[in-house]
Every structure is written in C-alpha cells, then in structure tokens.
Homo-oligomer: A and B are copies of this chain.
Amino acid sequence: MHQLVEQIANQDIRALARAITFVENDSIEKLQIMQDAYSIKKNGMYIGLTGSPGAGKSSLVNRLISQIRTEGKTVAVIAVDPTSPFSGGSLLGDRVRMNEHFTDDGVFIRSMATRGSLGGLARATKDALRLCDAFGFDVIIVETVGVGQSELDIMKIVDTTAVVLTPNSGDVLQIFKAGIMEIADLFVINKADLPGVGKLKAMLRELIHMTKQDRYQPQIVKTITTENEGIEALWEKLKEHHAYVYASSEGKKRLEEQRKLEVLELIRDEIWRDVYQYVQSHPDFSSNLTNTDPYNLASSLYMKWKKEGR
C-alpha cells in the first residue's frame, strides 16, 4: 500500500492534504494512491453544493458544518475554485470558514483550483472526495461555483446535489437552460429574508413539475444564513435524499451511471498520460509546425503510437 495511504489510514491529516496535492498535480503515482485509498474507503456521505457567485454558499456551508458537528459527525469540505476570472468569492469564503472551524479536528477544509492538469479539475476533485472518504470523514461536501461544464461534472460523483439560489437573482431560467435540473436533488433558497422568495419558490415548483416527472421530486428549503435559519431543515433534507439514493432503484441507477462515467474518465486520463509523453518526445512533433496541417499530423502520430507507442 502506498505510504501516503497507510498514513491516511492512520488518521494522518497531513498525509491527506499531501495526497490531495498529488491528485491535483496529476502525479504519476495518482492511480496507485487512489486504488489503495479505494481499498480502505468508508461509507462517507457525498454532498454537492453549487450555485451562482454571491448566493452565499460559503457561509451556508459554514453553518452546515456546525449543524453536522452537533451530531458528532466529522466533515470534509472541498471548495472548488474554477479559476475563472469572473467567478469571484471563493478565496474569501475559505478564509471565513477557516477562522471558524480552524481548531476543530473534526473538520477538514481544502480548496482546489484548476491547474490545467490532464485529468482536469473535476477528476481531481472526485479523487479528493474519495481520499477524504478513505480518511474516514462522515460527510464530504464539495462546493463549486456553478459556472462551467467542469463544475457541473463534479456533481456526477456526489450522492446529493443541492443548488443554492437567492431571490430575484434571475438564475432560474439559466438553470433550466443549462439543464442543471438534471443534477439538482434539492433547492436551497438562501437569503430568504430578501423579497421575491414566494415568486422564486413558485417558479422552482413549476420547473420541478415540468422536468422531474416520475422521478425524485427535489425539495425546496429556505435558509437565512445570517440568522442560522433553515440550516437544520437543510441537513434533514440532505439526509432524506441520501437515504433515498441508496434505497431506491432510481438512486441505484444513478450510482451505476456515475461509476461508469468515472471509469471512462479514468481511462481517458491514463491514455492521455501515455500519448502525451510519446508525442512530446517524437521527432515529428519537435520540428517547426506552424505551417503543418495539425489534423494530418495528429492522425499520423496516433497511427505511429498505435504501432510503437506501447
């Protein structure tokens, strides 16, 4: 077993942080680490939280952590920074949380950022969730600013995805357009002390009715983070959906599809690693390419890799 994973099994939190850095940087040891980590995985509850910048996700997660801690459960949070020039907020959010839960050994918080790694952010984040699971955290939360496909992809590993909205934020139509309804298991109307809550709730109900027929009907929870209102209800709804996923045939189907997707992703990453190294060191690739047809060169290099590259 990889030394880092042995240390993780022994509750070495620094080893967990190091292992996450390994997957973030797409280290060559990654697959070995993840295979070993999977062999000691527990049954952590995987929760995803997404929503627009400014929806108050960080503070909401902060409150949720405290709520979960009252049950004595441990919590790991992976905060994903999509490295978007226009996403905003995430760094500050982490700092806020760090201050409050810094001294609590039952809470682990880590941010991840796109490094243009081969596998990409979504893949690295999924591995990070599994590493936290292997460590033994009871609840593992991934928080993303839902600003791109890769952020949505992250949600394809969690058991339950909560979409955080605010009144009058005008997100609803965008949600419908982006097909985020597909991944939404629960809607949180945060900042529910602002005007427009009733209208938003009605629109959500309609969207749910239109898109979720014969499927799990996402609940709608209202929260006011500043007042710590609705946090307990949110936690209950999260547990409710989690139980549904593991009890229902719809849930099992979802887990099965997630697993298949994950296997495909992992294979793609492995291939990419192989081919990347082969091509980078190939003479055809080193010469002046500016006036070369990239499509022809790609085909010929692929053919050559197929012949020699293994």
Name A residues whose Cβ lies closer than 8 Å to a Cβ of B: 31, 34-35, 38-39, 51-53, 82-88, 91, 114, 116, 120-121, 145-152, 170-171, 174-175, 177-180, 252, 255-256, 259-260, 262-264, 266-268, 270-272, 275-276, 279, 285, 288-290, 292-299, 301-302, 305-306, 310
Please measure, in the bound complex, the distance between the C-alpha atom of A279 and the C-alpha atom of B179, giving whole angstroms: 27
Q: Which of B87, B174, B180 is the one whose CB lies under 8 Å from A88? A: B174
A-side interface mostly: helix
Q: Is the CB of B294 within 8 A of A85?
A: no
Q: Which residues of B contact A151 (CB under 8 A)?
A: 148
CB distance from A70 to the nearest CB of B (A): 31
Please measure, in the bound complex, the distance between the C-alpha atom of A175 and the C-alpha atom of B170, giving whole angstroms: 24
Q: Closest chain B residue to A286 by CB distance?
A: B260
The 6 closest A-B pairs by CB, nearest first: A148-B148, A266-B298, A52-B86, A85-B178, A35-B295, A147-B147
Q: Which residues of B contact A310 (CB under 8 A)?
A: 306
CB distance from A25 to the nearest CB of B (A): 16
Q: Is the CB of A264 within 8 A of B279?
A: yes
Q: Closest chain B residue to A169 by CB distance?
A: B86
Q: Is the CB of B85 within 8 A of A175?
A: yes
Q: Is the CB of B116 within 8 A of A295?
A: no
Q: Is the CB of B149 within 8 A of A148?
A: yes
Q: Which residues of B contact A276 (CB under 8 A)?
A: 264, 268
> Given A259-B294, A263-B301, A271-B302, do A147 and B84 touch, yes or no (CB 8 Å)?
yes
> Given A85-B171, A256-B288, do A38 and B271 touch, yes or no (CB 8 Å)?
no
Q: Closest chain B residue to A288 by CB distance?
A: B256
CB distance from A4 to the nearest CB of B (A): 15
Q: Which residues of B contact A175 (CB under 8 A)?
A: 85
Please measure, in the bound complex, the distance between the C-alpha atom of A287 and the C-alpha atom of B145, giving whole angstroms: 34
Q: Which of B88, B150, B266 is the one whose CB lies under 8 Å from A294? A: B266
> Given A52-B85, A267-B302, A310-B306, do A149 and B120 touch, yes or no (CB 8 Å)?
yes
CB distance from A1 to the nearest CB of B (A): 13
CB distance from A135 to the nearest CB of B (A): 17
Known contacts A31-B298, A35-B299, A121-B149, then 6 further A-B pairs from the complex at CB < 8 Å, ordered by chain A residue: A53-B86, A85-B146, A85-B178, A259-B292, A268-B268, A271-B305
Report 18 cross-chain contacts, Cβ distance below 8 Å, ordered by A residue: A34-B295, A35-B296, A83-B149, A84-B146, A84-B149, A85-B152, A85-B174, A85-B180, A121-B149, A148-B149, A252-B290, A256-B289, A264-B279, A266-B298, A267-B301, A267-B302, A268-B272, A268-B275
Please measure, in the bound complex, the distance between the C-alpha atom of A272 and the C-alpha atom of B275, giving whole angstroms: 11
> Given A147-B147, A266-B294, A293-B38, do A91 and B275 touch, yes or no (CB 8 Å)?
no
